[in-house]
């Protein structure tokens, strides 16, 4: 069966399911677009929400694998099962998606490659909200392509709710794979607590002279205590460690047999006060990341330690029945200590205000503005306007605004402390200016009762000074002290202009056929085109998918649950002759899982197949992903 037939079969299968069949609300309460609780249809934005309880039923092993199959999200994976992945929304680069955990940013100041290391066990997740498109006026720098917002059970817990959920599972499979996943959540009266651990380990598949091993562990615990009906305090601590083969993750060189170990610590505290019409909260967080990278056995390791302290003060007021105010201020202090990049520190302060106004029975207008004050570069004023009109089964929405992003420490200082930089290495540039872009979008949503939601959006983004890596000869390098006169280097630079045009369609259908049968299905389709003013294509702008479709389907009948997820991606072909590597112009992959429960739904066994069709592919040049991978396991749960 050729690729076209495979795709048509998958899409047809998906839409047949739609005509029959989800278990989540199609117009849910969301906080991502407005920082206050609003119906998704009142925000003027395209938002997809995944409930945490679905994660354990889908054929995925980590959060970045889950994101890979959410409509409209592109994950460029360097390694399997949480080793390392770049998150892409609407054709941006991997640094242009902001990841938020219970209100606080977790983007790493060292490099955006670490943004998928989300320090939370899957068992703690209440829901994941994906907002597509510009969001800097509310969330600040980095929210260019969109926002991944994760809300956990403990931090979202209400007073006087009673609930207990305990689960533990283990699975094993080919290539020495071993997984453990356990967690708990408990709520009663004034207190809610939760915690969990996820580990993925394998000797890995054979690569060029090495094996693609990984040992990845995430553990977290949190608590929320209601001091009274108006006051509460919540706290979380988390640990995350990724130890993996990183061969050709960052270079296409034959001598690259790299390994990497990234260890993160995360602590977060929230104190909040609320009445019927007002609320005030203060979130504070501290993140520490230790990164040890070894290019090959003959090289000295790069040792980087980055730290971020941040605080978010948020005030909300329902001024009138049709008018709501959200305002606040975000502060970040970023620090790096590195034998490769040097020692640096930066701060950022960003006050903001947003007003949601219902101007007619079905029409909501929301203007927002944020002032971003950087330590060493000029301040940026970031406005945005969101519009929403909903009547009967239709919602018409639009949004326009500015976005910004400052360079991370790797883009500014990579390889600056080295005595000699080999040919082909990536080199930072301290003189980088902050990215600017203007984005607009228009779209419509159609609802069929409480079962079907069909969303379509057209969008454009006009970038100035976009930061990306581009091959640059020695004579054109801004600094030559530690370079080879015959070398060609990947220089971080501001590209004059990059314009992206796209169209996306999302489909969700949710249906309980009866007490014993449930079908949940979703799909996304994205068409993208990016044009750069540079004649030589830069690395990451040229790597995003030109066409992407991803889907998921879950069916439960009595004690039997089956689920299928898949994606098809079409992009620009690339090659690196030195390591005999290619990025094929398209690929289709699909995972499947089947499980059966016993003893009143408390014990289950399951089998899973990743990459069923054994497709040979890679998302980034030189980083081949595994073929078919079979696993199976057992899980216990008590509610």
Mean pLDDT confidence for 514-537: 86
Q: How far apart are CA 106 and CA 546, in angstroms?
A: 28
pLDDT score of 537:
67
* Phi (first) and psi of residue 417, to 5 degrees: -95, 0
CATH assignment of the domain containing 137: 2.40.170.20
pLDDT at 508 > cutoff 80: yes
Note whether 527 and 569 are within 8 A (CB).
no
Interval 388-399: pLDDT, tens: 998 888 999 999
Give residue 581's pLDDT band: very low, low, confident or very high (50, 70, 90).
Answer: confident
Mean pLDDT of the chain: 89
* Phi (first) and psi of residue 577, to 5 degrees: -65, -30
Give Cβ neighbours of residue 626 (< 8 Å, ≥ 6 apart): 80, 175, 204, 205, 212, 610, 611
What are the distances in angstroms from CA 56 to CA 23, 53, 157, 377, 562? Answer: 14, 7, 21, 45, 12
Mean pLDDT confidence for 240-255: 90
Closest C-alpha among 432, 443, 427, 490 to residue 466: 432
Lowest mean pLDDT among 59-68, 237-246, 507-516, 599-608: 507-516
Q: What pTM value is reported for the model? A: 0.91
- 423 or 412: which carries more pLDDT confidence? 412
**For a pLDDT cut of 90, what percent of the chain falls above it?**
63
Q: How far apart are CA 32 and CA 144, in angstroms?
A: 14
pLDDT at 21 > cutoff 70: no
Q: Which domain holds residue 381?
A: 3-638
Q: SS3 for 247?
A: coil
Give residue 324's pLDDT band: very low, low, confident or very high (50, 70, 90).
Answer: very high
Q: What stretch of H or E contains 553?
A: strand 547-557
Q: SS3 for 13?
A: helix
pLDDT at 125 > cutoff 60: yes
What are the distances in angstroms from CA 278 to CA 120, 227, 316, 318, 479? Answer: 29, 17, 5, 6, 54
pLDDT score of 184:
94
Q: How far apart are CA 441 and CA 44, in angstroms?
A: 10
Interval 194-229: pLDDT, tens: 999 999 999 988 888 788 999 999 999 999 999 999
pLDDT at 348 > cutoff 90: yes
pLDDT score of 20:
35
Residue whose token pair is 């553990």: 219
Please count the other Cβ atoms lying within 10 Å of the Cβ belonging to residue 308. 22
pLDDT score of 552:
93
pLDDT score of 1:
44
pLDDT score of 421:
83
Give residue 10's pLDDT band: very low, low, confident or very high (50, 70, 90).
Answer: very low
pLDDT at 13 > cutoff 70: no
How many domains is the chain built from? 1
Lowest mean pLDDT among 18-22, 293-297, 543-547: 18-22
Q: How far apart are CA 544 and CA 529, in angstroms?
A: 9
Give residue 18's pLDDT band: very low, low, confident or very high (50, 70, 90).
Answer: very low
Give residue 24's pLDDT band: very low, low, confident or very high (50, 70, 90).
Answer: very low
Give residue 25's pLDDT band: very low, low, confident or very high (50, 70, 90).
Answer: low
pLDDT at 9 > cutoff 70: no
Give residue 17's pLDDT band: very low, low, confident or very high (50, 70, 90).
Answer: very low
Q: How far apart are CA 423 and CA 151, in angstroms?
A: 44
Cα-Cα-Cα-Cα torsion 524, 527, 531, 537, nearest 10 degrees, comes to: 70
Mean pLDDT confidence for 518-526: 92
Is 116 buried (19+), middle (13-18) or exposed (0-12) by CB count in 10 A? buried
Interval 171-189: pLDDT, tens: 999 999 999 999 999 999 9
Q: If you write DSSP's letter for every residue of 312-328 in order, what string do you get?
A: EEEEEEEEETTEEEEEE
pLDDT score of 109:
92
Q: How far apart are CA 354 and CA 363, in angstroms?
A: 17
């Amino acid at each position: 069966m050729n690729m076209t037939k495979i795709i048509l079969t998958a899409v047809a299968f998906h839409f047949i399911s739609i005509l029959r069949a989800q278990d989540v609300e199609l117009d849910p309460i969301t906080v991502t677009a407005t920082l206050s609780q609003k119906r998704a249809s009142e925000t003027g934005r395209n938002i997809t929400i995944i409930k945490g309880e679905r994660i354990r039923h889908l054929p995925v092993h980590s959060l970045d694998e889950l994101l890979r199959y959410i409509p409209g999200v592109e994950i460029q994976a360097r390694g399997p099962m949480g080793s390392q992945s770049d998150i892409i929304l609407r054709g941006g680069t991997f640094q242009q998606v902001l990841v938020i955990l219970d209100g606080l940013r977790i983007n790493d100041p060292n490099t955006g490659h670490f943004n998928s290391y989300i320090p939370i066990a899957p068992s703690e997740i209440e829901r994941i909200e994906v907002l597509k498109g510009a969001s800097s006026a509310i969330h600040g720098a980095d929210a260019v392509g969109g926002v991944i917002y994760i809300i956990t059970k403990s931090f979202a817990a209400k007073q006087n709710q009673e609930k207990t959920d305990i689960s533990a599972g283990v699975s094993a499979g080919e290539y020495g794979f071993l997984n453990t996943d356990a967690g708990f959540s408990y709520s009663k009266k004034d207190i809610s607590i939760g915690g969990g651990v996820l580990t993925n380990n394998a000797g890995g598949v054979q690569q060029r002279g090495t094996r693609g091993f990984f040992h990845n562990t995430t553990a977290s615990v949190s608590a929320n205590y209601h001091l009274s009906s108006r006051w509460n305090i919540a706290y979380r601590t988390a640990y995350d460690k990724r130890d993996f083969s990183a061969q050709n993750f960052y270079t296409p060189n034959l001598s690259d047999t790299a390994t990497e170990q990234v260890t993160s610590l995360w602590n977060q505290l929230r104190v909040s006060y609320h009445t019927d019409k007002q609320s005030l909260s203060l979130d504070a967080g501290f993140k520490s990341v230790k990164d040890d990278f070894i290019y090959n056995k003959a090289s000295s390791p790069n040792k980087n330690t980055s730290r971020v302290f941040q605080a978010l003060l948020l005030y909300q007021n329902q001024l009138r029945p049709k008018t709501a105010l959200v305002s606040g201020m975000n502060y970040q202090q970023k620090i790096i200590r590195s034998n490769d990049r040097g020692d640096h520190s930066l701060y950022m302060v960003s006050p903001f205000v947003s007003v949601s106004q219902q101007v007619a029975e079905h029409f909501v207008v929301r203007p927002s503005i944020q002032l971003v004050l950087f330590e060493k570069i000029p301040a940026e004023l970031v406005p945005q306007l969101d519009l929403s009109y909903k009547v009967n089964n239709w919602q018409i929405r639009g949004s326009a605004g500015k976005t910004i992003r400052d360079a991370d420490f790797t883009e500014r200082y990579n390889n600056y402390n080295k005595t000699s930089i080999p040919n082909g290495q990536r080199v930072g540039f301290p003189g980088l200016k902050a990215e600017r872009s203007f984005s607009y979008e228009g779209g419509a949503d159609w609802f069929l009762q409480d079962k079907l939601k069909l969303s379509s959006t057209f969008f454009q983004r006009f970038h100035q000074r976009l930061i990306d890596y581009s091959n640059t000869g020695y004579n054109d390098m801004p600094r030559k002290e530690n370079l080879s006169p015959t070398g060609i280097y990947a220089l971080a630079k501001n590209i004059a202009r990059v314009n992206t045009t796209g169209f996306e369609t999302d489909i969700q259908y949710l249906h309980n056929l009866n007490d014993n049968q449930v079908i949940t299905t979703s799909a996304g389709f994205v068409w993208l085109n990016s044009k750069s003013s540079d004649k030589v294509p830069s690395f990451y702008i040229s790597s995003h998918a030109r066409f992407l479709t991803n889907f998921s389907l879950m069916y439960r009948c009595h004690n039997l649950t089956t689920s299928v997820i898949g994606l098809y991606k079409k992009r620009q072909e690339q090659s690196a002759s030195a390591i005999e590597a290619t990025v094929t112009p398209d690929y289709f992959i699909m995972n499947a899982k089947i499980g059966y429960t016993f003893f009143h739904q408390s014990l289950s066994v399951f089998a899973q197949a990743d990459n069923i069709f054994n497709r040979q592919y890679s998302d980034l040049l030189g980083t081949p992903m595994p073929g078919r991978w079979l696993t199976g396991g057992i899980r216990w749960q008590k509610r």
